[in-house]
Chains A and B, each alone.
Chain A
Amino acid sequence: MGKEANTSVELRASDRVLPMPDSDSAEYWEGLARGELRLQRCTACGIAQFYPRSLCATCGGSVEWFAATGKGTVHTFTVVRTHGAEPFRSLVPFTLAIVELEEGPRMMTNLTGIDPDDVRIDLPVELEPVSAGDITLPFFTPRADS
């Protein structure tokens, strides 16, 4: 594509407009700052969910927090080759992925440490927290043990 692919945390975190923790998500963001991926699990049906909310999106029950393994697989992805807004305009090509966590929920992320053209569905990945000042963003990278 004539441009060097983004394979690392060159996918800079700090020049993105960043999430604002709220009363649903504060614990999630605090966990990431400690390097931990915290998810919610229903106290009634046991199903884990992402993103955080004040009820179980499956059965309506109440939720509790737990530490997830941070491991998952790529459920689907795209290589973004053109983008209208910075910083992404300058970062193309980069990988936008939906990761399915071991605990079940899926989340959007960028993949680092792999050439976008080498990404495949079902690729095993793991959490790579990247600090961006007050917020730590959950990137994912190919699993070392895979």
Chain B
Amino acid sequence: MRGALQREVAIAGIGLSDYPVAPGMTSEQHAALAFRRALDDSGLTKADVDGFFSAGDALPHFEDAENLAEYLGIQPRYFDSTFTGGSAFEVLLQHAALAIAAGECEVALIVYGSDARSRHKRGLGAKGLAPTTYLFDQPQSGPRRQGNAAAFEAPWGSSIISSYALAAQRHMYEYGTTSAQLAEIAVAMRYNAQFNPNAMYRDPLSVEEVLASPMLADPLHRWDCCVVSDGGGAVIMTSGERARDLKTTPVYVLAAKNAATHYNIAQMPDYTQTAAAMVADDVFRAADVTRDDIDTLQIYDSFTITVLLQLEDLGFAPKGEGGAWVSDGKLKVGGALPTNTDGGGLSACHPGMRGIFLIIEATRQLRHDAGDAQTPNAQLALVSGSGGILSHIGVAILGRQP
């Protein structure tokens, strides 16, 4: 990683599990399948893995990562179970890069699996419960202390969708952003999904169709919201030196940063700005590249507003002008800045925490292995994961050259 430490770090293997729907597979099986595919991709063996990085499944996540390491039969000499929700995999990528650069481990596995759709058979519209509501469901007596979310948000019926809606509404108020502009983001992701045979939805989607879809929490319509899928992913990282001797084209980690602003949506300091604004300049400086150098973006898209805020906070779109900025097809495959070239969470897959899919798709793009969704001669990709309720952001810049 440039800037921080003197040793090159690269992604040496990637693997996806089966998605968007895999009835009968457990979360652990998704993780195991993705892991085995990532090993095959890299040419490394299981015995080479000495660093384990996982955020577990989803809430409740206590000790899920330890359980997963045991299931996979990995006894790592470096273990990290950082959980920041969907952004966890970008944070874990940063941690793995630092650990490899510092010599704490040689081969790091970042791994995730979830059977969210098949287990719960739920849609976000039906049971899009905020973390608050998980706490809300806890028994009201006994030793477990009730969290602040349960006391100050759950009684009001806060949900995941309504939490993001609070941010979207404020952005519209301050900047005049329109529902049609947000819809352009969903339309672009759907356009990109046509190139991904595994995407949950591949039929063309129009702005009019987004606006005609049911309003779930003003101003967010059904198609402003991500899908709920099954799926898993694995990323194997090692030193640049070692990666160059392996099977596939190394993809280098040039810089990675993370930051957080709040946990509960009622505590968001500014509903129009995420923690991406805190790290954007730093990450470009550390990678020694500019925004104009970036060829493709992989941006967490739990909701259309999630994308809009990150594009502004990362500095690609001027603050407040993201709505107009996304409305000319830039985000589509073949556009000026192809974004979520696998169809994203809005159309392809979102098994609860989507951050690892961003890293995997960026790696495919930089290996020039993305098929019909390939960004011509892509050299640099930016990945931005969002976790919690716009709470945590993890940003990484990946490159084809060290």
Task: Provide the bound-state CA to CA distance between A137 and B173, in Å.
Answer: 28
B266 touching A19, Cβ below 8 Å: no
The reply to whether the CB of A8 lies closer than 8 angstroms to some CB of chain B is no
The reply to whether the CB of B170 lies closer than 8 angstroms to some CB of chain A is yes
The reply to whether the CB of B75 lies closer than 8 angstroms to some CB of chain A is no
Chain B nearest Cβ from A73, distance in angstroms = 12
The reply to whether the CB of B119 lies closer than 8 angstroms to some CB of chain A is no
B140 touching A20, Cβ below 8 Å: yes
Task: Provide the bound-state CA to CA distance between A110 and B153, in Å.
Answer: 10
Residues of A41-92 whose CB lies within 8 A of B: 50-51, 75-85, 88, 91
The reply to whether the CB of B169 lies closer than 8 angstroms to some CB of chain A is yes
> What is the 8 Å Cβ interface bit string for chain B, positions 102-123, against chain A (1 contact, 0 not)?
0000000000000000000010
Closest to A132 in B: B155
> What is the 8 Å Cβ interface bit string for chain B, positions 137-157, against chain A (1 contact, 0 not)?
100100001101011111111
The reply to whether the CB of A106 lies closer than 8 angstroms to some CB of chain B is yes
Which chain B residues border A107 with CB–CB below 8 Å? 152, 266
The reply to whether the CB of B129 lies closer than 8 angstroms to some CB of chain A is yes
B151 touching A20, Cβ below 8 Å: yes
Interface size on B (CB < 8 Å)?
41
The reply to whether the CB of B158 lies closer than 8 angstroms to some CB of chain A is yes
Partner of B146, one of A20, A84, A110: A20
Closest to A110 in B: B156
Which chain B residues border A98 with CB–CB below 8 Å? 166, 266, 271
> What is the 8 Å Cβ interface bit string for chain B, positions 162-185, against chain A (1 contact, 0 not)?
100111011001000000000000
> What is the 8 Å Cβ interface bit string for chain A, positions 15-53, against chain B (1 contact, 0 not)?
011111010010000000000000000000000001100
Task: Provide the bound-state CA to CA distance between A85 and B369, in Å.
Answer: 44
Closest to B169 in A: A76
B157 touching A51, Cβ below 8 Å: no
Residues of B211-243 whose CB lies within 8 A of A: 214-220
Task: Provide the bound-state CA to CA distance between A115 and B96, in Å.
Answer: 51
Which chain A residues border B150 with CB–CB below 8 Å? 17, 19-20
Which chain B residues border A77 with CB–CB below 8 Å? 166, 169
Given A17-B140, A76-B169, A80-B157, also A51-B215 (CB < 8 A): no
Interface size class of A (residues with CB under 8 A): 20 to 34
Task: Provide the bound-state CA to CA distance between A106 and B137, in Å.
Answer: 25
Which chain A residues border B129 with CB–CB below 8 Å? 84-85
Partner of B155, one of A16, A75, A79, A91: A16
Task: Provide the bound-state CA to CA distance between A91 and B27, in Å.
Answer: 34
Chain A nearest Cβ from B141, distance in angstroms = 8
Residues of B32-79 whose CB lies within 8 A of A: none
> What is the 8 Å Cβ interface bit string for chain A, positions 99-130, against chain B (1 contact, 0 not)?
00000001111100000000001000000000
Task: Provide the bound-state CA to CA distance between A17 and B146, in Å.
Answer: 11
Partner of A78, one of B154, B217, B266: B217
A80 touching B217, Cβ below 8 Å: yes
A51 touching B133, Cβ below 8 Å: no
Given A76-B170, A82-B125, A96-B162, also A106-B155 (CB < 8 A): no
Closest to B160 in A: A84
Chain A nearest Cβ from B142, distance in angstroms = 10
Task: Provide the bound-state CA to CA distance between A66 and B310, in Å.
Answer: 38
B218 touching A78, Cβ below 8 Å: yes
Chain A nearest Cβ from B150, distance in angstroms = 7
Which chain A residues border B266 with CB–CB below 8 Å? 98, 106-108
The reply to whether the CB of B94 lies closer than 8 angstroms to some CB of chain A is no
Chain B nearest Cβ from A70, distance in angstroms = 16
A25 touching B151, Cβ below 8 Å: yes
Given A76-B167, A110-B157, also A81-B217 (CB < 8 A): yes
Partner of A108, one of B153, B169, B173, B218: B153
Task: Provide the bound-state CA to CA distance between A143 and B78, in Å.
Answer: 58
Which chain A residues border B220 with CB–CB below 8 Å? 78
Which chain A residues border B156 with CB–CB below 8 Å? 96, 108-110
Can you list 22 A-B contacts (CB < 8 A)? A16-B154, A17-B137, A18-B155, A20-B140, A20-B150, A25-B151, A75-B170, A78-B218, A78-B220, A80-B157, A80-B162, A81-B217, A82-B161, A84-B126, A84-B128, A85-B133, A85-B136, A96-B156, A96-B166, A96-B217, A107-B266, A110-B156
